[in-house]
Structure formats: structure tokens, C-alpha cells
């Protein structure tokens, strides 16, 4: 929990302050998606496909419609259709054609749990009963779950209108392979020719769910004049507004979205599921419609992250210089295209200055729920393969795993494989910190192993809007358009208080709805403290400018003669014959009498979010009888740029590590032979709980991002990127065998141990 390199001349930045919303969250007062009711509301429920792949021959809703208490029954006929997007494709695909079909299946169902119809009724019981009265006639089709298999010529085709897109154009035949992204530089053949040693491995990872505590929930209230109010749990209500409006052909201004408190998102609440359906049901019935998913529905029908099949080959000289690296990976996008392939290609080798490298990432549709973002989307499974291969390389070169990374580490001015140029980065600082940490040299016992891995993530910036208002009593509201997921209320408050030079208790952070705030992109991509934080700083600086002008007016000085120091306007002694000051509180009381209310606004498109690196050390112990893995010790060392609120930063780093433990050891979707999901609850889908993990130690390295006034980089994502690789490496180290297929569950480990023993290993 060291907080090193921290400058101490800040009043609030970097301090451990009380959470502005902590008590409400732990006492159950905070209002999450499900904690809202509206008088007269109906209960929406969705009928879901029991088949992984089938044609919908007919839907008969007449019996459901006739049930007393049922106010509307909806099928895809009630959801506007949209044309398929055409090449050239954007890096991130928001294809309304796909989203409309994911929200409500049109001609085919594409995964177990795919929505096929919905009802709105006066009670949840009646709604559930009505679902049973909807008759859907299916023609079941063959399914495919594995991306490699799905990309093959023999696979059942999910979309007859989807062709493989490449520089040469579209493929002749429909294909589940939508497109492939390649990052490349140098000459691979030459690179491998220069190598003294070559490691070739295959790795697989499974789709895993974000596992947010709070299921998806919303209430839609449509009005007669085609306006809608929507209350929903989301990571970005402006994005939900955009998706709903576009999907339902509505004006953006007529959709007003309020973000509830959010019980976890991790990327999984960046898109729409029930929202457009609730809106349509509300429009059809003239009443508010509430739609809350069960946990089973969340697992069956909301997006997990991708699973992957990766082939990787790395060559190095004896001194550890990596001369060539090549990776090819198949990402399963789920039922609709859009796996985070660009981010994957970016991740593979971007921590290293490898002269000859290539990463090819395939975006493949399979009969699973459409993937969603999950904390550094696309990266952890790429890092799992790349870091696993490099760890084996180090092992075979008998090199220290940190040293081989130091030898090949990128520095300022270097570029990632996809061409991202690094500014001031803290990679070497992080690696040095690992080497000097006592965890790195601590002794290990029997059946114990230590793992190490590195993770890289390029953070997001983009559009953020802030309105800050100084009130008569000197308190300040700071309204943003970003739901607070990982502590943005705290970090916004800290930055506003730091700029103003006043106590943080005077600052009230507010999450405003879409009706009263400028566009603010998702709370995602580790962008919020960086981008929205910058908008907070600019908005508050506008307030300070106005207060300086106000003091100058009062003192009959020019604004240049007034400075802002420690929460007050100060007239320099030369201009006033002695220092004179007016505090924020005094100025606030005068403000509205001398003009309008004092506000500062900022609408920005923030660029220059920094890259960050997270290195992780983990010790595990294996029970040789059962294969059960106990994580013993865990240390995350990460360049956080500047920790605005260290408690939250540490929480992010710990959370990333814990989720990585889950990815590495336990989490996977289990399907039966009909591709029906079997583990749709937390009892069967095993995520780590507090008793499964050790205290996660954190070391905050602070190499400031020069593009942010306080040096902020994101922190939430790099810590997951390296985690599965580090844990897997520890398991390999403990059993002395390579293992290449996540999750490393006890039966698999036991099998590997047995195989090795049988082989005399």
C-alpha cells in the first residue's frame, strides 16, 4: 500500500478522504436500478429462446394477450429494423441491425436465452404466466460454440447476410468470420531466423461474465408526444440515450435518461438489453414499464467477454532480446460480430520493442450471447498468451522473468504494434519496483509457485461535460454526466476542491441526467478521472476566473491584479497597499447580487490519455490431492500516473487482480450438448469471494501523464490485463508443468499432474 513518488504539495489530491457515497451504499439507501418504482407501472418480462440456433417459424401471442392483466405483448415486429452496416467498418461496431436483433430476435434465435417476445403486465406473476402462453414454433438448426470451428467452412452459418470482410472485399460465401485485424511490423522470417530459441504455444480462454452484483434493471416511461424518460443502471446514460433513440427512430432530445446507482458494470453495462423493449412496451401501453433481469437472464442473455483460441510463437536471442513474435487468435464475438479485435492486436506485444512482430485477431460469430466489454476488453486473453509465452521463454533461457522484460521494455517514443506512440510512461519504473519488492525474493514452500506477468492498456479520453455551480453559501455542486462506478464522485470532488483550494466537504458531486448536461461518454475505458476530471478542472477554473473578476470589481482593480490563492481572491499588496482578500464564501454571498449565478462549464473532447502498465506477482499453493489452488500472496505494481484518490486506486488494482484470479482458476460457461447454458447462477458459475483470495498488496508508481493537469492516467484496466497470466504462471511454476487452457480448474490441474507423473515428469 505504498504511495511512492507522490508529491506532497497538494491539499487533496493523493489524500485518503471519506467516501461521499460510501455509507449510503453499505446501508442500502443508495438507489440502484431495481430500487425504483413509479405509480401505475407495469412489469415487463422477456421470453427467451431455449435453443442455441433455430429459425422462428411463428409466434402466437394470442393466448398471452388474452390473459387478464396483460397489457401488451411484443415481438420483433414492434422493434424497427435497420440496415446492416457496410464497409469500411469502424474499430468498434455499433450496428443497429445487430443490436435490434440482439434486443429481440427477428427471424432466427442465435443463442440460448435470445429474446423472442416480451410482455407487460400488471404484476410480475402475471407477466411470467403470460410468457408461458406465448407459442413459438422453432426449426432447430445445428449450432457452433467454438470460434476456430465456427470460422471453418463446415460450420453452421449464423448470418446468411454476413461475409468475411478483408482488404480484398467480401468473401463469396457467408461466413461466421466477420473480419480479421492485423498488427504487423518488421520481417517475421528474418526475426525468427535471428532467434536462438523459439517458443511455440497454444492458449485458450473461455468467455467470462463481468459478474456485477446488480442485474440489469430499468423503468421506461413514454409520453404521448413521443418523449421517453428512462431510469436505468448503466455505465453511460448518454450512450443508452443514443442507442435507444437510434434503435427506435426517436429524436435524441426526446429521450431523457437518468442513471441509477450502479452495482458494478466492468464494461457489461455499456449497451442496451431490456431498455428499448421497456420503452416500446411503455409506448404500447401508455404506462411506465419496469424491466428487471434475473441472474439467470443476465448469464444467458447479457454479454460476457470473448473466449479465445490463440497460437503464439516467440523467438529470442540467448541474451533475452526478443527477435520475433507472431500471434494468431480467434475471438468469439458471440451471436453478433464485434469482438474487441483491435484492442487484442494492440495488446499482444505492445509492452516490448520487438522488431519483427505480428498479431492477427479474428472476429468470429458463435451461438453464444453477443459479447460485451469487460475491463480492458480483448486484452487479458491476449496478455495471457503473450506473457505466458514470454515466461516460458525466460524459463528456457534461465533468465529472470522481470529482467527479460526490462531488456525488451518499450520506452517513451516507442510505438505499440498498432502504432500507438508512447509518451511519458512508467514501465521501467514498474519493473524495477517489482524486482526490489520483498515479495519478489520471498521464499516459497512445497507445492507453491510464483507467477509474474505484465499488462498494458491504453486509456480512453473523449467527450465529457461538466457544469459546476457556486451556491450562495459557498458550497459547490459539480455535475457530470458519468455514473459513479469506481469512485468518480470522490475524484471529481478532490479535483474541484484542489483547484478551488477549499475543503472537500464543500463540494457536492452530482450525476446529472441527459436532459441537463452535455454529452458525456461512458464511464469506461478508464477515461472518467482523466477526461471528466479534466472537464471538472476547466469548469472550476471558469468559476475562479469569475470570482477573480468579481473581487476585482469590488476592489476596483483589474482582474490581473487579483490572484486566487488557497480558496480566496487576493489583491497584491502593490495594488491595494496591503494584502486584501475575499474568501470563496464571502464572494459566493455577493455573487448573485452582482450578476447572474456563478457557474463554470466545460464540454471537452479529451485526448492524450496515457498508457499504463501493471505488473503482478502472485504466489499460489496447489493441493496435489485435489488440484485446488490457493492464492497465497498477491502484489500489484502499477503506474497510475497520479492517484487522485489512493483508496479507490488501490481498490481498482485489487479488484482487477481478484477478477483475474477468477478468470484464471474458475470461471467458464458450461453448455450442454444442445448449447444450453448450464451454470446460470453464482452457485455454479464460480467467482472468487473474499475468502478465496489473499489481501492484494498494491504498489502505486506515479509517473504523471503530462496531458492531464494532475498527471492522471486510468487505473482500472491494466490491473486485469496481467492478472490471468500471472496466476496461470504461478500455477505452472507450482506444478512444474505448462498449462494452456483457462480456467485452470482443479480437475484440469490434477489431470496435468497425473499426466506428468505418468510420463515420469
Among 259, 396, 381, 254, residue whose Cα is nearest residue 320: 396
Local structure of 592: helix, strand or coil:
coil
Extract the C-alpha cell encoding 361: 485477431
Please report whether residue 688 would count as binding a second copy according to CB under 8 A. Answer: no
523 binds a second copy (CB under 8 A): no
In the bound complex, what is the minimum distance in angstroms from residue 463's beta carbon to a second copy?
A: 6
Q: Which stretch binds a second copy (CB under 8 A): 135-143, 216-224, 354-362, 716-724?
A: 216-224
Burial of 398 (0-12, 13-18, 19+ CB in 10 A): exposed
Q: Does 579 bind a second copy (CB under 8 A)?
A: no
Span from 157-165, 369-377, 501-509, 657-665 in contact with a second copy (CB under 8 A):
501-509
From candidates 253, 566, 579, 689, binder to a second copy by CB under 8 A? 253
482 is an interface residue for a second copy by CB under 8 A: no
Nearer to a second copy, 169 or 595 (CB): 595
Q: Which of residues 229-248 bind a second copy (CB under 8 A)?
A: 242, 245
Verify binding: residue 97, a second copy, rule CB under 8 A. no
Size of the site for a second copy (CB under 8 A): 64
516 touches a second copy (CB under 8 A): yes
- 696-701: strand order across its sheet: 2-3, 696-701, 629-639, 611-622, 448-458
Cβ closest to a second copy, residue 531 vs residue 715? 531
CA gap 168, 180 in Å, rounded: 12
Give yes or no for residue 513 binding a second copy (CB under 8 A).
Answer: yes
Q: Which residues contact 193 (CB under 8 A, 6 or more apart)?
A: none
Q: Which is nearer to a second copy, 479 or 571 (CB)?
A: 479
The reply on whether position 224 binds a second copy by CB under 8 A is: yes
For residue 475, state whether it binds a second copy (rule: CB under 8 A): yes
507 is a contact residue toward a second copy (CB under 8 A): yes
Closest C-alpha to 694, from 753, 615, 620: 620
The neighbouring-strand residues paired with 74 are 118
Note whether 90 binds a second copy by CB under 8 A. Answer: no
From 271-279, 468-476, 573-581, 617-625, span contacting a second copy (CB under 8 A):
468-476
Count how many residues are written for the chain: 761
Distance between CA atoms of residues 32 and 233, nearest Å = 7
Range in contact with a second copy (rule: CB under 8 A) among 422-430, 562-570, 574-582, 596-604? 596-604
321 binds a second copy (CB under 8 A): no
Task: Give the residue with the Cβ less far from a second copy, 38 or 170.
Answer: 38
Sheet of 197-205: strand order equals 169-174, 163-166, 177-185, 356-365, 322-334, 308-316, 197-205
Compare residues 327 and 517 and give the one whose CB is closer to a second copy: 517
**Binding of residue 251 to a second copy (CB under 8 A):** yes
Query: Which one of 36, 56, 552, 734 is in contact with a second copy (CB under 8 A)?
Result: 36
Using the rule CB under 8 A, is 460 a contact of a second copy?
no
Nearest to 362 by CA among 378, 384, 385: 378
The C-alpha cell that represents 724 in the structure block:
490471468
- Work out whether 88 is an interface residue with a second copy (CB under 8 A): no
With CB under 8 A as the contact rule, the residue among 151, 476, 657, 720 that binds a second copy is: 476
Residue nearer to a second copy on the CB measure, 224 or 673: 224
483 binds a second copy (CB under 8 A): no
**Would you count residue 227 as binding a second copy (CB under 8 A)?**
yes
Question: Is 471 near a second copy (CB under 8 A)?
Answer: yes
Residues 93, 118: contact at Cβ < 8 Å?
no
Q: Within 10 A of 687 (CB to CB), how many other CB atoms are there? A: 17
Calculate the alpha carbon distances from 251 to 246, 541, 662 in Å: 8, 34, 42
Binding a second copy (rule: CB under 8 A), the pick from 47, 512, 699, 753 is 512
Q: Which residues of 242-281 are buried (b: 16+ CB within 10 A; e: fewer)?
A: bbbbbbbebeeeebbbbbbbbbbbbbbbbbbbbbbbbbbb
- Residue where the block lists cell 482593480: 557
Q: 304 vs 487, which CB is nearer to a second copy?
A: 487
Q: What are the start-end ranges of the H helices in 363-513?
A: 379-396, 401-408, 427-436, 438-441, 488-500
CB atoms within 10 A of CB 597: 10
Residue of 74, 131, 208, 479 interacting with a second copy (CB under 8 A): 479
CB under 8 A: which stretch of 378-386, 507-515, 566-574, 732-740 binds a second copy? 507-515
Q: Nine-digit cell at 607?
A: 485526448
**Which of 335, 476, 352 has its CA nearest to residue 48?**
335
Residue 36 CB, shortest distance to a second copy, in Å, is 7
Candidates 251-259, 291-299, 547-555, 577-585; binding stretch for a second copy (CB under 8 A): 251-259
- For position 597 contacting a second copy by CB under 8 A, the verdict is yes
Residue 123 interacts with a second copy (CB under 8 A)? no
> Which triple of cell numbers denotes residue 410?
518499450
Q: Cα(563)–Cα(566) distance, rounded to whole angstroms?
A: 10
Q: Are 30 and 511 in contact (CB under 8 A)?
A: no
The reply on whether position 24 binds a second copy by CB under 8 A is: yes
Site string for a second copy, 256-275 (x = CB under 8 A): x-------------------
Instruction: Considering the complex, state which of residue 251 and residue 673 has its C-beta at the smaller distance from a second copy.
Output: 251
472 binds a second copy (CB under 8 A): yes
Q: At what angle do helices 584-591 and 533-555 cross, to 10 degrees?
A: 80
Contacting positions for a second copy (CB under 8 A): 20-21, 23-24, 27, 29, 31, 35-39, 221, 223-225, 227, 242, 245, 251-254, 256, 286, 463-465, 467, 469, 471-473, 475-477, 479, 505-508, 510, 512-520, 535, 592-593, 595-599, 601-605
Amino acid at each position: 500500500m505504498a504511495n511512492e513518488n507522490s508529491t506532497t504539495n497538494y491539499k487533496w489530491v493523493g489524500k485518503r478522504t471519506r467516501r461521499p457515497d460510501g455509507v449510503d451504499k453499505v446501508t442500502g439507501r443508495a438507489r440502484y436500478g431495481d430500487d425504483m418504482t413509479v405509480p401505475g407501472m407495469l412489469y415487463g418480462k422477456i421470453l427467451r429462446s431455449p435453443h442455441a440456433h433455430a429459425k422462428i417459424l411463428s409466434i402466437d401471442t394470442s393466448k398471452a394477450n388474452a390473459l387478464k392483466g396483460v397489457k401488451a405483448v411484443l415481438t420483433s415486429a414492434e422493434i424497427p429494423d435497420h440496415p446492416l452496416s457496410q464497409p469500411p467498418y469502424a474499430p468498434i461496431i455499433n450496428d443497429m441491425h445487430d443490436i435490434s436483433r440482439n434486443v429481440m430476435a427477428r427471424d432466427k434465435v442465435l443463442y440460448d436465452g435470445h429474446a423472442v417476445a416480451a410482455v407487460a403486465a400488471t404484476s410480475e406473476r402475471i407477466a411470467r404466466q403470460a410468457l408461458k402462453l406465448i407459442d413459438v414454433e422453432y426449426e432447430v438448426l445445428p449450432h457452433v460454440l467454438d470460434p476456430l470451428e465456427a470460422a471453418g467452412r463446415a460450420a453452421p452459418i449464423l448470418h446468411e447476410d454476413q461475409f468475411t470482410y478483408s482488404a480484398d472485399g467480401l468473401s463469396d460465401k457467408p461466413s461466421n468470420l466477420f473480419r480479421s485485424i492485423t498488427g504487423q511490423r518488421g520481417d517475421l522470417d528474418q526475426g525468427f531466423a535471428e532467434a536462438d530459441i523459439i517458443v511455440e504455444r497454444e492458449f485458450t480462454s473461455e468467455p467470462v461474465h463481468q459478474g456485477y452484483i446488480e442485474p440489469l434493471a430499468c423503468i421506461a416511461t413514454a409520453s404521448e408526444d413521443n418523449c421517453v424518460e428512462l431510469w436505468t443502471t448503466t455505465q453511460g446514460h448518454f450512450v443508452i440515450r443514443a442507442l435507444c433513440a437510434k434503435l427506435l427512430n426517436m429524436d435524441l432530445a426526446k429521450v431523457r435518461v437518468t442513471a441509477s446507482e450502479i452495482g458494478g458494470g466492468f464494461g457489461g453495462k455499456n449497451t442496451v438489453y431490456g431498455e428499448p423493449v421497456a420503452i416500446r412496451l411503455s409506448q404500447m401501453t401508455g404506462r411506465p414499464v419496469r424491466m428487471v433481469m434475473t441472474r439467470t437472464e443476465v448469464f444467458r442473455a447479457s454479454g460476457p467477454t470473448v473466449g479465445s483460441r490463440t497460437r503464439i510463437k516467440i523467438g529470442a536471442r540467448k541474451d533475452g532480446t526478443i527477435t520475433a513474435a507472431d500471434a494468431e487468435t480467434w475471438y468469439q464475438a458471440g451471436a453478433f460480430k464485434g469482438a474487441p479485435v483491435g484492442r487484442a492486436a494492440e495488446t499482444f506485444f505492445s509492452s516490448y520493442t520487438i522488431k519483427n512482430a505480428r498479431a492477427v485477431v479474428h472476429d468470429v460469430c458463435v451461438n453464444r450471447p453477443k459479447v460485451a466489454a469487460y475491463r480492458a476488453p480483448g486484452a487479458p486473453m491476449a496478455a495471457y498468451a503473450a506473457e505466458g509465452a514470454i515466461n516460458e521463454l525466460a524459463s528456457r533461457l534461465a533468465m529472470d522473468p522481470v529482467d527479460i522484460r526490462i531488456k525488451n521494455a518499450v520506452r517513451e517514443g516507442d510505438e505499440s504494434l498498432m502504432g500507438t506512440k508512447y509518451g511519458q510512461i512508467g514501465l521501467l519504473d514498474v519493473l524495477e519496483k517489482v524486482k526490489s519488492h520483498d515479495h519478489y525474493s520471498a521464499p516459497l514452500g512445497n507445492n507453491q509457485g510464483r507467477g509474474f506477468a505484465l499488462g498494458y492498456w491504453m486509456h480512453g479520453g473523449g467527450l465529457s461535460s461538466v457544469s459546476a455551480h457556486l451556491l450562495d453559501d459557498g458550497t459547490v455542486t459539480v455535475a457530470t454526466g458519468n455514473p459513479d462506478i469506481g469512485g468518480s464522485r470522490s475524484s471529481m470532488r478532490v479535483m474541484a476542491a484542489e483547484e478551488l483550494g477549499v475543503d472537500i466537504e464543500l463540494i457536492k458531486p452530482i450525476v446529472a441526467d441527459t436532459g441537463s448536461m452535455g454529452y458525456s461518454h461512458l464511464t469506461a475505458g478508464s477515461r472518467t478521472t482523466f477526461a471528466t476530471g479534466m472537464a471538472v478542472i476547466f469548469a472550476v477554473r471558469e468559476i475562479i476566473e469569475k470570482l477573480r473578476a468579481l473581487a476585482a470589481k469590488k476592489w476596483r482593480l483589474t482582474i490581473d491584479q487579483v490572484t486566487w490563492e488557497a480558496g480566496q481572491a487576493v489583491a497584491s499588496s502593490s495594488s491595494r497597499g496591503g494584502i486584501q482578500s475575499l474568501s470563496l464564501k464571502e464572494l459566493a454571498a455577493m455573487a448573485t447580487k452582482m450578476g447572474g449565478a456563478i457557474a463554470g462549464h466545460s464540454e471537452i473532447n479529451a485526448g492524450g490519455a496515457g498508457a499504463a502498465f501493471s505488473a503482478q506477482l502472485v504466489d499460489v499453493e496447489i493441493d496435489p490431492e485435489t488440484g485446488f489452488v490457493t492464492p497465497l500472496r498477491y502484489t500489484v505494481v502499477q503506474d497510475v500516473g497520479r492517484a487522485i484518490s489512493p483508496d479507490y486506486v488501490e481498490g481498482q488494482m485489487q479488484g482487477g487482480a481478484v477478477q483475474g484470479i477468477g478468470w484464471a482458476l474458475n470461471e467458464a460457461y458450461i453448455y450442454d450438448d444442445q448449447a444450453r447454458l448450464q451454470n446460470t447462477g453464482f452457485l455454479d458459475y464460480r467467482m472468487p469471494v473474499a475468502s478465496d483470495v489473499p489481501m492484494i498488496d498494491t504498489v502505486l508508481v506515479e509517473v504523471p501523464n503530462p496531458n492531464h493537469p494532475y498527471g492522471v492516467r486510468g487505473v482500472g484496466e491494466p490491473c486485469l490485463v496481467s492478472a490471468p497470466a500471472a496466476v496461470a504462471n504461478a500455477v505452472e511454476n507450482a506444478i512444474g508443468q505448462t498449462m494452456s487452457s483457462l480456467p485452470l480448474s482443479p480437475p484440469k490441474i490434477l489431470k496435468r499432474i497425473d499426466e506428468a507423473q505418468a510420463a515420469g515428469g
